[in-house]
Structure 1
């Protein structure tokens, strides 16, 4: 490629400002990493840009800020020798070129000042080690000591140094290799992938939060199964998500088998990813069958069963989130709910979508009914075209029925029109079991279509139920 082509990569005015600051401080400076990689991949200009300088990154950041019209605040991370500033829609991180060495029990390196070559040696992958010069004497020149440009063309993830050293030093790079392969649809070099398998146990020194950050990114890829298959083959997945790998395999007893629920799960995640970018709905797809491993049973009468796997799976979600230090808030509760209800729409189809069954489904799913239907449609992985079409046609009928019932009965998130206080006042009761019984009876009557979701009908039902319980008004 021509020198002009590289200059085109540096058209944004910020690079001339960095160049000016570098010359004033007499520092050797480069833009490195993702910005360079994504320029060649034509992925659009990255808004977060890494700048490396042979000298003080902190001083360079301060000088750049002083030359910018908006005089941005410089955030300094003294322990790491880095500084960050935001200007316009850009986020710039400055670091001094450095050499790193590692203790086996930590991914925190011992750092000392180094050259650009030292800094490129410490990078995770060849495609992230490329740099553009921001210096007067060779402005725009590509510095690519590991032939990362060729790896981009070959769509290959490869480490600059011996992969055993790269991965053992910082085991998070093993997850990053798979994440980049997933995001870019690249392959991991065979030697590099073998090294990941050999070093898989090194992942145990990485914090759960950092692992989850990479897993989130894999989950949000266009085809998440690509990354999860690599995680499984590399022996990494079993180290942090054993609930998933426990689904792998097919057992046969007396000639009867069941499907491989691990590969089925990955199909479901791919299916749902065509219809949603919602991270937590994708997690719901990933975990929707985790209860099947502990509930799997075989009997001569019915063959393989997974009774109660949805309920078991929803309980497992809490322990899984807690172990991985994922949020134990409404996001976790949403995933629990999706896992617990993942078979409910199928049951509605089996009941020929009666109004009563649909009302209960809409009530129990509440505002997440659309998410639940999306999950259940993604769960259709049959390879039989007629069966596939029949299931989807049935789900379309259920969706239509949901709209009709919701418009007519206003069931979503409803509370019975008669409150507990009114029940207490009507029958002159103090808090007791009968109040809950009457309130539940009203709710069931509405959901079963025995009375409309209206106050007068609910009050009349309350009085009738009270008489049955021997209560007087």
Structure 2
């Protein structure tokens, strides 16, 4: 099969000519070939394999490209790369690899194209397009990758036990590709993942999470998440999620399987957000239910304070998995902690004070919170589902009315601590905090309006109760 249509860009002819000058064979390999055959958006990173020195070929090509970025050379790996406009070009010498049992870092030696294709993770990534003069554009596909693309199968070029044991990260990649492309993992390959699952522990958390994040960003994350669990990998990555599995029954009363419920929630939210951390909040919103699950003879199954417990668990999880502990963690913790609050506001007798407090606590993330709460509706009963959605519309309308009137979503105190100090002639002391907190509470409770004049009047009255005397230099006092 000739694929000259894939290599119309001038860079391919330039690489071909440079390789010919060096008397080296060269091929385009990997994701670029796969995505062209799948008619997906072409990858902007292109991998070239040459039988010879990848660094020498990269240097030769780099010298001929006027718009090239600086050439980056990695002698240890025999690779070099540079950018040309929006393309990222990487060159490597064909190689064969061998591994030790306790490391995924291979021993590398020079090899042939055949050696290089054998070391690839999957048949669909092992295809190459020749850039050589005699067979320019010809597909080199020794393992039937094109048939696997047609049949939508993920399969390893060699014995999967060798492929996965050598580099256990490939197990995550198999599941990630299955989720992204909505392919099936070939049965023997999947059984091999099950057999080798424990070897994922030799892979760094950062690399594991990189693949996990890509699964979370797919159109339907549950495909990958369920495969991770079925393969036995999830217990090593997110045991907190695995702990949600199962349904218990006591005295005829059951609770839902919170693991599969969680997968539904993540799928429900995916079409409505590309915010990876909101998807994480959906994934973790119920993790506190496992440690808080109790059975009460009077009311049945309970999960008291599971939102608060879950928010605390998120910190340990993020720390263990080397996820960012700054703003992303705080955001996820906030959404998890508040995830059940909007439900309680559905009652028609809910007070404006309760609405204001939720707006204040959620702040700029309120809309994301509501998006999660809507995704959390997983009942298969159409009447109940319709009723829940109608109730949320009522809550949103109430919130909108309160927000337009009281403006507390992004609350800023009308009176600053500096003004309190200046008004009463105070140095830093606890009374300043008391006054600021009292003003905030008065606004949230609806006792005063959220504006400077109301807050100033309230502050002066409060000052009297605290035996504070205002300095009479401001005629407004």
Q: TM-score, normalised by structure 1?
A: 0.96
In the other structure, the counterpart of 2:207 is 210
- After TM superposition, the structure 1 stretch with the greater mean CA deviation from structure 2, 63-72 or 230-239, is 63-72
Q: Distance in 1 between matches of 2:188 and 2:58?
A: 39
Provide the secondary structure at the position in 2 that maps to 1:274.
Answer: helix
Would you say the 8 A contact 1:247–1:292 is kept in 2?
yes
Q: Distance in 1 between matches of 2:274 and 2:423?
A: 50
- After TM superposition, the structure 1 stretch with the greater mean CA deviation from structure 2, 184-193 or 84-93, is 84-93
Q: Distance in 1 between matches of 2:296 and 2:68?
A: 73
Q: 1:390 aligns with which of 387, 391, 395?
A: 387
Q: Distance in 2 between matches of 1:263 and 1:238?
A: 15
Provide the secondary structure at the position in 1 that maps to 2:295.
Answer: strand
Q: Distance in 1 between matches of 2:349 and 2:114?
A: 68
Provide the secondary structure at the position in 2 that maps to 1:250.
Answer: coil
Provide the secondary structure at the position in 1 that maps to 2:162.
Answer: helix
- After TM superposition, the structure 1 stretch with the greater mean CA deviation from structure 2, 225-234 or 381-390, is 381-390
1:161 aligns with 2:161: no
| Root mean square deviation, CA, Å | 1.5
Q: Distance in 1 between matches of 2:177 and 2:243?
A: 26
Q: Deviations over 1:73-122 (max 9, x none)?
A: 21101111101011121101100000100001000000000000000000
Q: 2:410 aligns with which of 408, 413, 435?
A: 413
1:298 aligns with 2:304: no
Would you say the 8 A contact 2:68–2:83 is kept in 1?
no
Q: Distance in 2 between matches of 1:231 and 1:407?
A: 45
Deviation at 1:463, TM superposition (A): 3.1
In the other structure, the counterpart of 1:249 is 246
Provide the secondary structure at the position in 2 that maps to 1:95.
Answer: strand
Q: 1:371 aligns with which of 365, 368, 372?
A: 368
Deviation at 1:460, TM superposition (A): 2.2
The 5 Å alignment of 1:258-269 reads 258-269=255-266
Q: 1:228 aligns with which of 217, 225, 228?
A: 225
Would you say the 8 A contact 1:193–1:234 is kept in 2?
yes
Q: Distance in 1 between matches of 2:54 and 2:351?
A: 67
Structure 1 residues 165, 455: CA separation in 2 closer, same or farther (over 3 Å shift)?
Answer: same
Would you say the 8 A contact 2:68–2:85 is kept in 1?
no
Q: 1:116 aligns with which of 110, 113, 118?
A: 113
Deviation at 1:212, TM superposition (A): 0.3
Q: TM-score, normalised by structure 2?
A: 0.96
Provide the secondary structure at the position in 1 that maps to 2:368.
Answer: helix
Q: Deviations over 1:306-341 (max 9, x none)?
A: 111111111111111110111111111111111111
Would you say the 8 A contact 2:44–2:86 is kept in 1?
yes
Q: Distance in 2 between matches of 1:36 and 1:160?
A: 16
Provide the secondary structure at the position in 1 that maps to 2:76.
Answer: helix
Q: Distance in 2 between matches of 1:314 and 1:427?
A: 40
Q: Distance in 2 between matches of 1:425 and 1:73?
A: 57
In the other structure, the counterpart of 1:192 is 189
Would you say the 8 A contact 1:200–1:235 is kept in 2?
yes
The 5 Å alignment of 1:48-447 reads 48-350=45-347, 352-427=349-424, 429-447=426-444
Would you say the 8 A contact 1:98–1:114 is kept in 2?
yes
Would you say the 8 A contact 1:21–1:67 is kept in 2?
no
Provide the secondary structure at the position in 1 that maps to 2:193.
Answer: helix
Q: Distance in 1 between matches of 2:325 and 2:169?
A: 24
Q: Distance in 2 between matches of 1:332 and 1:188?
A: 33
1:7 aligns with 2:14: no
Would you say the 8 A contact 1:33–1:130 is kept in 2?
yes
In the other structure, the counterpart of 2:475 is none
Provide the secondary structure at the position in 2 that maps to 1:67.
Answer: coil
Deviation at 1:465, TM superposition (A): 3.1
Provide the secondary structure at the position in 2 that maps to 1:444.
Answer: helix
Q: Deviations over 1:223-245 (max 9, x none)?
A: 00000000000000010110100
**Residue segments in structure 2 that go unaligned for 5+ positions in a row:** 471-477
In the other structure, the counterpart of 1:448 is 445
Count of aligned pairs: 470
Would you say the 8 A contact 1:353–1:398 is kept in 2?
no
Q: Distance in 2 between matches of 1:341 and 1:247?
A: 20
